[in-house]
């Protein structure tokens, strides 16, 4: 999405990267003013409510200006970078002199987090950083105006005139704020009557609310953790520049946004729309574990050379076999048309935990894949999730999902359906337990499976048959030869 402002300068606007989403947060810039870019080069990474996406620039030239710093949420259609496409040299100012201005660094408390490591459930999750949400680009004040290069000479923007706060910070008059800002204040527990406005005509902005909810930075720009609603006072015995100790930071408020916000809303919608039923079965999977070890010892013999072999592979195949035997379970509820839509394909979702929140990418047409092909698809899904490259398209159109809670040492759970899907299978930890086998108590590899399903689509009998079939295949994996 580009705009030509003059013969030499092109502007790149925030595109719609999330199928109708209206905004995205700039996570990381890969270029700085003065850098040369080429058509197709990735210049930044942004996060929508669905995924993190890298944005390529559509032309060649020299970066003139980055309009927003990292951590800023930008509306679709806003210009985020301008590029000199005249073919001339980079700006005359030396790079080392212009870099501090062009990089537009955020304050210390808004610094971008360390490298994110989103991974598949069970492979560990890096701790995420919390940063204050930047103000929308539509309402700017002196703190939001991007810092251009000395030679860029952007059109001057009028700075809002300072507005005197209402009497006693708003006491006696109703604070002026837009509905989204009022909701934000309510979510953060901020009394708007105590917020000093900085917007035009005395309007309270989102940044004003965040500033009221967050302790003011110290002179060295180090954030001082404190209880969000406590008065911002410093005892006389404590130096003003001293950071708060762990004992003082009794609460931490984390803004809900991006993927986590979208996931939370989806889970609420699912929980209160689809009537959930969960059934459980505990099964001896010793033979399945032995088969996995046998394939690992000689993967080439079985056509798995170079592929990842783990219990999830055979669990996924067992679920696909059960769906093939009971296709009625693979459906969705169309509320608008009052219809049940049966799916003749299976897009198998695999729940993944990332620092941004829960993601559920799915394997398209998993029902048509051989076991080696399914292993390859699972491996690609894991690799993509680890790198944080899961695309919005990869999370669309799922029909059923598997969530592996066993990797955390959990026996089982009652999973919530992914919105629009009919069923979700939770897999518990696989561990040695005493089990009656051939009339004797022996240590066997045992796990517990839990199947949640939409009771509008799936009655108890159908749900029980599907879960029993999954257990039967895992108990005797040779059934894959006759049931497929």
- The string of pLDDT tens digits covering residues 436-445 is 999 999 999 9
Judge whether 133 lies within some domain.
no
Judge whether 161 lies within some domain.
no
Residues 6+ apart with CB under 8 A from 294: none
Q: Is the pLDDT of residue 358 over 70?
A: yes
Rounded CA separation 293/322 (Å): 24
Q: What Rg value do the Cα atoms of the chain yield, rounded? A: 27
Residue 49 domain boundaries: 2-110
Q: Is the pLDDT of residue 171 over 60?
A: no
Question: Residue 13 forms beta bridges with which residues?
Answer: 79
Q: Phi, psi (5° rounding) for residue 287?
A: -65, -35
Rounded CA separation 199/19 (Å): 32
- Looking at per-residue pLDDT, the higher value among 483 and 149 belongs to 483
Rounded CA separation 379/120 (Å): 10
**Which of 84, 110, 136 is the endpoint of a domain?**
110
How many domains does the chain contain in total?
2
Judge whether 301 lies within some domain.
yes
Q: Is the pLDDT of residue 179 over 60?
A: yes
Rounded CA separation 402/322 (Å): 13
DSSP state string for 133-162: PPPPTTS--TTTS----TTT-PPP-PPPPP
- Looking at per-residue pLDDT, the higher value among 424 and 258 belongs to 424
Q: What band does 220 get if pLDDT is binned at 50, 70 and 90? A: very low
Q: Is the pLDDT of residue 180 over 80?
A: no
Judge whether 281 lies within some domain.
yes
Judge whether 212 lies within some domain.
no
Judge whether 134 lies within some domain.
no
Q: What band does 388 get if pLDDT is binned at 50, 70 and 90? A: confident
Judge whether 360 lies within some domain.
yes
Average pLDDT over residues 109-121: 42
Average pLDDT over residues 313-321: 97
**Which of 82, 110, 138 is the endpoint of a domain?**
110
Residues 379 and 308: beta-carbon distance below 8 Å: yes
Q: Is the pLDDT of residue 121 over 50?
A: no
Judge whether 7 lies within some domain.
yes
**Which of 110, 141, 164 is the endpoint of a domain?**
110
- The CATH number of residue 103's host domain is 2.40.50.100
Rounded CA separation 347/330 (Å): 10
Average pLDDT over residues 468-479: 97
Q: What band does 152 get if pLDDT is binned at 50, 70 and 90? A: very low
pTM over 0.75: no
> Across the chain, what does the average pLDDT equal?
77
Highest mean pLDDT range out of 5-19, 124-138, 204-218? Answer: 5-19
Average pLDDT over residues 296-306: 91
Q: What are the catalytic residues? A: 455
């Amino acid at each position: 999405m580009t705009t030509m402002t003059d013969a030499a300068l092109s502007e790149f606007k925030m595109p719609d990267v999330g199928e109708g989403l209206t905004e995205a947060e700039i996570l990381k810039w890969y270029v700085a003013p003065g850098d040369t870019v080429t058509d197709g080069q990735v210049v930044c990474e942004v996060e929508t409510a669905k995924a993190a996406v890298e944005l390529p620039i559509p032309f060649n030239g020299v970066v003139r200006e980055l309009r927003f710093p990292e951590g800023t949420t930008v509306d679709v259609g806003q210009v985020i970078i301008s590029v000199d496409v005249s073919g001339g040299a980079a700006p005359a100012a030396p790079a080392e002199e212009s870099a501090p201005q062009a990089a537009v660094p955020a304050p210390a408390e808004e610094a971008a987090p360390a490298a994110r490591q989103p991974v598949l459930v069970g492979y560990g999750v890096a701790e995420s950083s919390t940063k204050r949400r930047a103000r929308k680009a539509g309402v700017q004040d002196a703190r939001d105006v991007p810092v251009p290069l000395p030679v860029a000479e952007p059109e001057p923007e009028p700075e809002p005139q300072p507005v005197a706060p209402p009497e006693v910070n708003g006491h006696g008059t109703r604070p002026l704020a837009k509905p989204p800002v009022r909701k934000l204040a309510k979510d953060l527990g901020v009394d708007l009557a105590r917020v000093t406005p900085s917007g035009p005509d005395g309007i309270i902005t989102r940044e004003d609310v965040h500033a009221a909810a967050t302790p003011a930075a110290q002179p060295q720009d180090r954030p001082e953790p404190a209880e969000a609603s406590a008065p911002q006072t410093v005892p006389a015995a404590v130096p003003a520049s001293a950071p708060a100790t762990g004992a003082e930071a009794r609460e931490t408020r984390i803004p809900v946004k991006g993927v986590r916000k979208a996931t939370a809303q989806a889970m609420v919608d699912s929980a209160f729309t689809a009537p959930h039923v969960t059934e459980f079965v505990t099964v001896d999977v010793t033979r399945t574990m032995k088969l996995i070890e046998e394939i690992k010892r000689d993967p080439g013999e079985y056509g798995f050379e170079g592929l990842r072999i783990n219990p999830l592979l055979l669990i996924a195949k067992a679920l696909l076999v059960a769906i093939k035997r009971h296709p009625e379970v693979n459906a969705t509820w169309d509320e608008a048309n009052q219809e049940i839509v049966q799916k003749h394909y299976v897009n198998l979702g695999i729940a993944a935990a990332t620092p941004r929140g829960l993601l559920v990418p799915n394997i398209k047409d998993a029902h048509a894949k051989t076991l080696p092909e399914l292993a390859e698809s699972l491996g690609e899904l894991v690799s993509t999730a680890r790198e944080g490259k899961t695309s919005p398209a990869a999370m669309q159109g799922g029909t059923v999902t598997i969530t592996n809670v066993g990797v955390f040492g959990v026996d089982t759970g009652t999973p919530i359906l992914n919105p629009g899907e009919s069923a979700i299978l939770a897999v518990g930890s696989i561990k040695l337990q005493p089990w009656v086998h051939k009339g004797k108590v022996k240590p066997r590899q045992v796990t517990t499976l839990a199947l949640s399903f939409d009771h509008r689509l799936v009655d108890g009998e159908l749900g029980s048959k599907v879960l029993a079939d999954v257990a039967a295949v895992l108990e005797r994996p040779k059934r894959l030869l006759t049931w497929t």
